[in-house]
Structure 1
């Protein structure tokens, strides 16, 4: 009986990492994404060193609608993006400043950023994630997906790969449901 239990425990120990790995999906360092809330396809950088997701936005303005906090912004991709987007404000995040961005006279080691919830499709996976808004126009990728969102996607990031899951292929009804929520 002891041998049977020992053998069973050993099998479970060896199989449990395989089961967890089966649930994960391998993404590349960069992936094509679809952001349903703004009906936009773009390339994103997947960054396990960043905690939150960031979208390149400009002219960010908070306002109230029906007593709720909202945010209005324009995409900071190029001059052709002159359409304002409006989404409910989820919260204000505090992003650590990089050493080159830190001004000791201001005595702030963080930057406040508005955060919105967005439905994002990568490959065949759709998730609603928190996205902070900031001007990323000096960066190569307008959309950065950090570790908090990567956990929701059950992602393993292989930096030797790029665009490994192909174009976003989420179902239209799944996207409609996610936006409605």
Structure 2
């Protein structure tokens, strides 16, 4: 059994505590709010997409996609972004598949930071977004006994600070 990991008091004091599920925004993609499962066991973050397509913009590969961030309001959002990378990802069930990665801004708990996410079909999952540990690194800690600690963001995007 691995020894527990302790953060130095100064480092832990500067980190924001998240619950095991939180509301977040992805302003670059036009997502004002989406429910996310906070999963320190997952290395990368994943966003559910209903459909995705490729195209070239100014000689660079881009991906366009459509997704529905809510469970009750079935309003689809269309977005596009430059392709950062393409990699094989193994899901929690041990299945390996090829995914497109992109870089985007995350807005959570009053903080904004750039993160890497991959696009996948999470249709059977309870949360359209999975927030992995690489997106939380150095800024957030998780309290698995709590949830939605930072409230629900507004339904419209506010300009970047």
Give your verdict on TM over 0.5. Answer: yes
User: Unmatched 5+ residue regions in structure 2?
Assistant: 1-6
- Aligned position for 1:54: 46
Specify the alignment match of 1:121 in structure 2.
Answer: 107
The structure that is helix-richer by fraction is: 1
- 1:121-140 matches, within 5 Å, as 121-140=107-126
TM-score w.r.t. length of structure 1: 0.74
Q: Distance in 1 between matches of 2:101 and 2:34?
A: 19
Aligned partner (choices 145, 148, 151) of residue 163 of structure 1: 148
What is the distance in 2 between the residues matched to 1:70 and 1:130? Answer: 15
Q: How does 1:73-88 map to 2 (within 5 A)?
A: 73-77=65-69, 80-88=74-82
Alpha-carbon RMSD across the aligned residues, in angstroms, is 2.3
Gaps of at least 5 residues in structure 1 are 1-15, 102-109, 175-181
TM-score (norm 2): 0.83
Identify, as 1 or 2, the structure richer in strand.
Answer: 2
Which structure has the greater CA radius of gyration?
1
